[in-house]
Amino acid sequence: MQIRVEQLQVRYEDFELRVENLTFSPNRVSVLVGPNGAGKSTLLRALAGLVRPVAGAIFIDGRELAGLRGPERARLVSYVPQEYSASLNFRVFDFILMGRSGYLNIFTPPARADYEKTEEVISYLGLEKLAQRKCQELSSGERRIVFIARALAQDSKVILLDEPTTFLDLKHEMEIIGLLKKLAEDRAKMIITSIHSIDLIPRLADFMVMIQKGRILAAGPTAEIFRAELLGTLFDYPLRVVEAEGRQLILR
Amino acid sequence: MTGSIRKNKKRTILFLSLLLPLLLLLISLSLGTLKVSVREALEILAARISGVNQVLLSSPAANIVLNIRLPRVLLALLAGAAFSVSGASLQSLFRNPLVNEYVLGVSFGAGFGAAASLILFSRSFPPQVLAFACGLLAVVLVLVISEGARNTLVAVLLTGIIVSALFQALLSALEFVASPYALQSLFFWLLGSFSQATWTDLLWSGPLILAGLTLLIKMGWRINALSLSDDEARSLGLAVKRERILIICLAALITSAVVSIAGIIGWVGLIVPHAVRGLVGADNRLVLPVSAGLGASLMLLADDLIRVLSPFEFPVGILTNLVGIPFFLFLIKRARSSWS
């Protein structure tokens, strides 16, 4: 499976995002980086099929995203938004179960297979203790994991995440980072996520896309483009990358 | 373990909430000036269904139970269920605990439609048609006008009030031009009452309400997912816009079907779902059927109270306003972004 973006042009209010050519390859973690308002979320929403491009197209596995019906798209791509927005206070189990919507029609409630999938996801992520609690009682770290669980229940090859680590404390941030890597490795998921903490990128991502003012500044393997000059240009602030204990660190 | 206990508890609540209206139905048939015991009422019902005991069926008691009390009781049950289920569905759909068919203008739209139909075509044409059309028009107006507002919760409420006021004004205009005879029946009907219920009314509205209720309850699971943000619901594979429209239409349909024969009865759709969510949680697979059962029971109980306590027919719509409005104010006071 591969995601190909061709001559994409997306408008959101007075913001415009243009992507000439971009290819995401399977089984790895890709990150979208850039300053606030650069267009990371817009690109994610476009990849999720939530905004219709003004021009150009996105192909997933050779099929054009805009031409897919809702359920077909849901089985290919899942989307993890930044904030818990449900106004109803669902139980965690029921919330994760909603990931199965794309497999059900409007009048059918979830069946045995959907419950089994949900239970499998819950035990894979070790969420048994949370399953009967209500979503609004959870900490923001727990809630992020529940969102990822819903995406897993959706059983899509691609998982898109919008800033999954913002507002988390250090421990929960590392937990999410570890989980995303694990999903790419054990479950062959294709993870595309925007991220704020650039110092985490070398640990997390194999591939990075630098976005600035609605344009792609650079895209490539992290090992090649995680460079001080590029990052400095991207954030418009001088940065240094140093190596210590075999890791790349950012100095600002 | 705890999951299965919870499941059993929920099943019990569901079972009781569906049993309660049946019990109340039997009790309600025996209430009134003419004393009929619950057992006699049951016998009359059985005789009617089997058609065996013709002697019993021709008795005055049977006539009162079958032709006066039964349609009234059934209408009260259907009305309570319809208001509660449409209220619960709309609250989830709009992610807004304060919304219901009354607030969204459906009730007054439908009221105007039904009144216009009665005046224009008299009883010969079912008032449900125009009631539904105007009820739907009212929600569409509210949605179109409040769309894009920053604070949608407040915008929807305000627009709903204004659209309701518009249809109330139209209704007053109708009343002004209507003949005195039509006016009198219009007046009582608008205050909301089950006292005029006949089998002919139920023949039209009954099946509509039952069909709408069944579909909405069947969509309970879907309504859960539709209560998420638009982005989430769409990324889960839902056809958000189409499915929302379908649910709004069904809610407007069952509300108008009630309003066109029983008049405007507000606030049941606000109180009942709220109480039910406190009882069973947010899951609409349970909230909708339990709301139907408890809403039906509550409405019937309110009508029974009126029949027993007031010597004249006090309109049930006034009673629900007197109880509902303070409750609404209380909810507004404690409304926050989250609700359960």
- Residue B335's pLDDT is 62
The structural domains of chain B, ordered by start, are 15-338 (1.10.3470.10)
| Closest alpha carbon to B268 in B308, B327, B213 | B327
Q: How far, in Å, CA of A186 to CA of A173, rounded?
A: 20
Is B238 within 8 Å of A50 when comparing Cβ atoms? no
Smallest Cβ distance to A79: which of B92, B220, B231? Answer: B231
- Residue A155's pLDDT is 96
Is A131 within 8 Å of B221 when comparing Cβ atoms? no
Q: What is the pLDDT of residues B171-217, one digit of tens each?
A: 989 888 888 877 777 877 888 889 888 898 899 899 999 999 999 99
The pTM (predicted TM-score) of the whole model is: 0.91
In the numeric block, the tokens 């949370």 are attached to A130
Q: How many CB atoms lie under 10 A from the CB of residue B263?
A: 26
Q: How far, in Å, CA of A33 to CA of A61, rounded?
A: 24
- Residue B175's pLDDT is 85
Three-state secondary structure readout of chain A: CCEEEEEEEEEECCEEEEEEEEEECCCCEEEEECCCCCCHHHHHHHHCCCCCCCEEEEEECCEEHHHCCHHHHHHHEEEECCCCCCCECCEHHHHHHHHHHHHCCCCCCCCHHHHHHHHHHHHHCCCCCCCCCEHHHCCHHHHHHHHHHHHHHCCCCEEEECCCCCCCCHHHHHHHHHHHHHHHHHCCCEEEEECCCHHHHHHHCCEEEEEECCEEEEEEEHHHHCCHHHHHHHHCCCCEEEEECCEEEEEC
Q: How many CB atoms lie under 10 A from the CB of residue B314?
A: 16
Instruction: Please report which confidence band the pLDDT of residue B1 belongs to, taking 50, 70 and 90 as the band edges.
Output: very low
Backbone angles phi, psi at A210, to 5 degrees: -100, 125
- Residue B340's pLDDT is 44
Residue of B nearest to A154 (CA): B236
Q: What is the pLDDT of residues B127-182, one digit of tens each?
A: 899 999 999 999 999 989 988 777 777 788 889 999 999 999 999 898 888 888 77
Question: Is any Cβ of chain A less than 8 angstroms from the Cβ of B335?
Answer: no
In the numeric block, the tokens 């990052």 are attached to A231
In the numeric block, the tokens 């992020």 are attached to A144
> What amino acid occupies position A64?
E
Q: What is the pLDDT of residues A42-87, one digit of tens each?
A: 999 999 999 999 999 999 999 999 999 999 999 999 999 987 666 6
Smallest Cβ distance to A132: which of B6, B231, B235? Answer: B6
| Closest alpha carbon to A222 in A2, A33, A37 | A33
> What amino acid occupies position B97?
P
Structure tokens given for A231? 């990052």
Cα–Cα separations (whole angstroms), residue B281 to A92, A122, A173, B275: 12, 21, 31, 10
Smallest Cβ distance to B232: which of A72, A81, A131? Answer: A81
Cβ(A38)–Cβ(A70) under 8 Å? no
- Residue A244's pLDDT is 86
| Mean pLDDT in residue range A94-106 | 95
